[in-house]
Amino acid sequence: MDIVKVKEIVLNALNNILTVVPVEQGFEIDESTLLLAEGSIIDSLTLVSLIVDIETTYSTDYNIEISLSDDRAMTREISPFLSVSKLVDYIYELISEK
């Protein structure tokens, strides 16, 4: 799986979550969208939902088991949950190892 597909999966999951969470009208979701940082459009509970949705998509649609909230993710110098691009890079790193 290439990084473009990973980005598509993350953006689709985020857009699905945001259909139930109010977001400023006209806000665009892209690679620079902040997730767990000051100025983020989502809160920590919404981030947990996003993580679960992404893990479920990989498991059910691609038969790839990943864990985005393990010690490896939590102890990184730069959090993979900082932005969409950081999360995409982290997921791509995980699936590339499989």
Q: pLDDT tens string for the chain (98 positions)? A: 999 999 999 999 999 988 876 666 556 789 999 998 888 888 889 999 999 999 999 999 999 999 999 999 999 999 999 999 999 999 999 999 98
In degrees rounded to 5, what are phi and psi of residue 83? -150, 170
Q: Where exactly are the structural domains of the chain?
A: 3-96
Structure tokens at 35: 């997730």
Which is nearest to 54 in space by CA: 86, 96, 7? 7
Is the CATH code 1.10.1200 the one for domain 3-96?
Answer: yes
Whole-model pTM: value is 0.90
